[in-house]
Amino acid sequence: MTDSFIFSGSGFVTGKYKITNDEIYQNVKKGLLGGFNEERIIASDSFIEAKSANNKLSPFDYMVYGKMGFKERYHVVPFPPSKPSYKRAENTLGLAVKSVELALEEAGISGKQIDAWFIGTATPDQFAPGIAEFTKAYFTDIEDVSPTFSLTSACVGFNINLEHAVSYFNAHPEAQHIVVAHAEIMSELLVNEHDFVPFSTFGDSAAAIIVSRVKTDNKCGILDITNGEDVAMLDFLGANIKGDLYMDARRVKSRAVPNIAGSMKNLLDNLNWQIKDVDWFIPHQTGNAIVNSVKELLAIPSDKLFQEIQYEYGNLSGASVPAAYDLLSKSNRIKPNQKLITAVAGLGGEFGGFAYVVPEMKYRFKQNKELEGSTILITGASGGIGSKIAEYAAAQGAELIIHYYSNKDKAIQIKEKIQSDYGVIVDLWKADLSVKQEVIEFVEGVKKKSQKIDYLINTHAITGSLSKASKVSDEEFIKVINSNYQSVRLLCDSLMNVVEKAILITGSVGEDAQFPGSVSYVAAKRALRGYAVNLAADLYDRRVVCIYYLPGLVDGGMISKLDNQQVIASMMSVDQHELVNRDDIAMRMLKSVYRLKIANVRISYESKLKVIKDGYLKF
C-alpha cells in the first residue's frame, strides 16, 4: 500500500452577473470601450465566409468568440464595472468561502478535519491577515490551530499551492485533508481600462479542491508537479500599485506558449507518458491564441483538450484549472484511472502544471460533527427561527435543552422529530418567561439536570402591540419589557457562570428600521443591547463570547403583522433589498456561536460585545 494524494471534493463559484459579448459590444458602440476595428473585420474574407454560414453572426462575436474563444463571463458587479459598485459587491473572500464550502460538502468532511489551508489570490480585499486565515475562520471554531498559508499569485497560484500541499503532506504524516483554493476578482482590475480585450477575457470566480491522503495499492491522484518562473514576463503582465491591469498580449503569448507547452512536456517525460496515454489536457484557459498554439505544438487531439471554462466563464486566473476539474467531475466526464495533465502560465512569469490519475473509487470520509459533545440551551424553540436552530444544532450532534411556552403540541413534535432524525438527547422545558418566578424555576431546573451548557441561544420574544405609543397601555408595555428584556437579563445573569463557550442574544432590525407602532418592542431590544455590552465585559475573562444578533426583516414572524407599505418603508430605511430567508438566518445564528466568522453578515464590536447584523447594510 502507498500514500496517494487525491481530490476528494471540489467547488466552483462565480460572480453573480453574467456578462455577454453583446453587452460588451454595446459599450464599444457607445464609445466607452475601444480597440475594436469593426470595418476591418467586416472586410475580411474569413468573416464573410463565417457570416454566410450564420447570418446572425456579428463582427464582435466573430472576433471575441470565434477568434479569441470567449462567449460569456461572470462578474461580481454589473457591466461596466465602476469603483463604487465594488463597495457592495461580493469580494474575493466571499467567493473563496463559497467554493471551499462546496468542496467540503462533496468530500463529506467538516472544516474541523482540515489539517492545513493553502489559498491564493492576486486581488485580495485586504492586505493582512491573508485570505487563507480569514477563509479558515468561516469553517472552524476558535480552538482550531491548523496552519494557514496565503499566497499572492494569479494564474499559477493554485499550482504553486498544490505543490506546497504535497510537501506539507510529506512533512506531516498525520495530515489527512488539505484545502487548496484560489479566488480572483479580475473585473476590479479593469475599472480604468478602455480596451475591449481584457473585458472580453476575464471573469470573477473561486475554485477549491480538498486534497486527501488515502492508502492505495497503486499510486494515483497527484503524481507529479512542476513550477517555474520566467523573469522575461515581469514587465508586461501584472497590476500596478493602483490596482490597474497592464498586459502586452503579444509578448505574453510569446512566453506563455513555450512555458505551458514545456510544462506539459516535462510532466509527460517525467512519467514516461505519451500524448495518446492522456485523457484530458487542461491548459490555463487563456484564450484561443495561446491554447491553440500549445495544442499545435504538442499535437494534442481536439477531443482531449478542455476549454469549456474559457468559453463559458472566461479566463479565471488561478481558479481556471480547479474550476475545469470541478466542471469535468460534476458532469461525470472524469472516469476511474483516467490521466490528466494541466499547465498554466501568467503574472510575474510564473508557470507550471501537474499530472493526475483519477482513483479507481470515490472516497467518502466520516464527517466529524462540529457540535458533538456540546449542550445547547435554546429559548423560544417552538418559534420559526428557534425550531430551525434546534434542528440544525442536532444535525451537528449537539444535545439540546429547548424551551417553549404556549405551543406545547409543536414543541413535542419538534422534540420527537429531532430525536428520530438525529438520535440526540432533547430535554423539553415549558416556562412563561414574562413571569419572573417562572424564569427562576426554569433556571433552577436546568441547572439541576444539566452538568454543563456550552451555548445559550436566546430567541424568545413577543411583538406586543403595534399601536401608536400614546395608545399602548402601561400593562402592555411592561409585559413586552418583561418578556423581551427582563427575562433575557435574568436568564443570562443566572446562567453566566454555567455557560462555557457563548451566549447569543437576539436583537432586531427594528432598532434601526423603526417599525411603525413598535415602541415597546424596540424599547425592550435597545435596553437589551445595552445590557449585552455589560454582559460581554463580564464574560470576557472566562473566554465566553457574547453575541448580539440583529436579523433583518425575515420572511415570517413580525412582518406578518405589518402591511406591505410598512415592510417596504422599513426595508428602505435600512438598505435591505430582500427579505431574509428564515432557515438561512437560523443556520447563520447557530454558526455564529461556534465559528469566528460567518458569511453574508456584517460583524462589528461594541467594546467586548460581538454585534452581527444580518440581511441589511445600514449600521
Q: What count of Cα atoms within 13 Å lies in the side-chain half-sphere of residue 504? A: 30
Residue 320, C-alpha cell as written in the block: 481556471
Residues linked to residue 5 through DSSP beta bridges, in sequence order: 213, 221
pLDDT given at position 537: 97
Please indicate, yes or no, if residue 519 is contained in any of the structural domains.
yes
Distance CA 516, CA 567 (A): 10
Length of the chain: 619
pLDDT mean over 236-263: 80
Residues linked to residue 181 through DSSP beta bridges, in sequence order: 119, 208
- 11 versus 382: which is more confidently predicted? 11
- The SS3 call for residue 236 is coil
Q: Are 208 and 260 part of one and the same domain? A: yes
Q: Are 286 and 387 part of one and the same domain? A: no
Strands 72-75 and 116-121: unpaired
| Strand locations in 86-175 (E) | 116-121, 148-152
Q: Are 31 and 80 part of one and the same domain? A: no
Q: Which region among 535-544, 583-592, 609-618 has the lowest average model confidence (pLDDT)? A: 609-618
With cut-offs at 50, 70 and 90, classify the pLDDT of residue 75.
very high
CB contact set of 199 (below 8 Å; sequence gap of 6+): 19, 24, 27, 33, 79, 80, 190, 193
Residues linked to residue 470 through DSSP beta bridges, in sequence order: none
CATH number of the domain where residue 296 is located: 3.40.47.10
Please indicate, yes or no, if residue 276 is contained in any of the structural domains.
yes
CB contact set of 423 (below 8 Å; sequence gap of 6+): none
Nearest to 253 by CA among 261, 244, 245: 261
**Bond from prior residue into 301 cis (ω within 30 degrees of 0):** no
Q: Are 41 and 103 part of one and the same domain? A: no
Q: What does each C-alpha distance from 397 to 102, 158, 362, 371, 378 come to in angstroms?
A: 21, 34, 26, 5, 15
Is pLDDT above 80 for 499? Answer: yes
Find the helix or strand (DSSP H, E) in which 216 lies: strand 205-216
Contact 458, 488 (CB under 8 A): yes
Please indicate, yes or no, if residue 322 is contained in any of the structural domains.
yes
Nearest to 498 by CA among 354, 619, 377: 377
With cut-offs at 50, 70 and 90, classify the pLDDT of residue 515.
low
Please indicate, yes or no, if residue 459 is contained in any of the structural domains.
yes
pLDDT mean over 299-327: 97
Please indicate, yes or no, if residue 428 is contained in any of the structural domains.
yes
pLDDT given at position 126: 87
* Cα 321–Cα 323–Cα 324 angle in degrees, nearest 5: 65
With cut-offs at 50, 70 and 90, classify the pLDDT of residue 244.
confident
pLDDT given at position 354: 98
CB contact set of 437 (below 8 Å; sequence gap of 6+): none
| pLDDT 10s digits, 150-167 | 999 999 999 999 999 999
Is pLDDT above 60 for 618? Answer: no
**Bond from prior residue into 551 cis (ω within 30 degrees of 0):** no
Residue 581, C-alpha cell as written in the block: 430567508
Among 357, 386, 415, the domain boundary falls at 357
Please indicate, yes or no, if residue 557 is contained in any of the structural domains.
yes
Contact 152, 347 (CB under 8 A): no
Residue 188 CB neighbours (<10 A): 24
Residue 151, C-alpha cell as written in the block: 499566497
Q: Are 335 and 434 part of one and the same domain? A: no
Q: Are 59 and 111 part of one and the same domain? A: no
Domain extent for 353: 2-16+66-357
The mean predicted confidence, pLDDT, of the chain is 92
Q: Are 285 and 352 part of one and the same domain? A: yes
pLDDT given at position 407: 85
Please indicate, yes or no, if residue 392 is contained in any of the structural domains.
yes
Please report the DSSP string for 23-87 in residue order: HHHHHHHTTSSB---HHHHHTSHHHHHHHHH-TT--HHHIIIIIII---EEEESSPSSP-GGGGG
Query: In 272-339, which ranges are continuous DSSP H helix?
Result: 288-298, 308-313, 320-330
Distance CA 43, CA 28 (A): 19
Q: Are 57 and 138 part of one and the same domain? A: no
Q: Are 253 and 324 part of one and the same domain? A: yes
pLDDT given at position 558: 66
Please indicate, yes or no, if residue 363 is contained in any of the structural domains.
no
Is pLDDT above 70 for 557? Answer: no
Structural domains counted in the chain: 3
CB contact set of 54 (below 8 Å; sequence gap of 6+): none
CATH number of the domain where residue 486 is located: 3.40.50.720
Q: Are 90 and 161 part of one and the same domain? A: yes
Q: What does each C-alpha distance from 49 to 37, 41, 53, 58, 288 come to in angstroms?
A: 18, 12, 7, 13, 20
- Three-class SS string for 139-156? CCCCCCCCCEEEEECCCC
| Strand locations in 217-337 (E) | 221-229, 237-239, 245-247, 280-283
Indicate left, alpha or beta for 510 from its phi (over 0: left) and psi (-120 to 50: alpha): alpha
Nearest to 234 by CA among 251, 216, 220, 258: 251
Q: Are 23 and 12 part of one and the same domain? A: no
Q: Are 288 and 394 part of one and the same domain? A: no
Residue 384 CB neighbours (<10 A): 17
With cut-offs at 50, 70 and 90, classify the pLDDT of residue 521.
confident
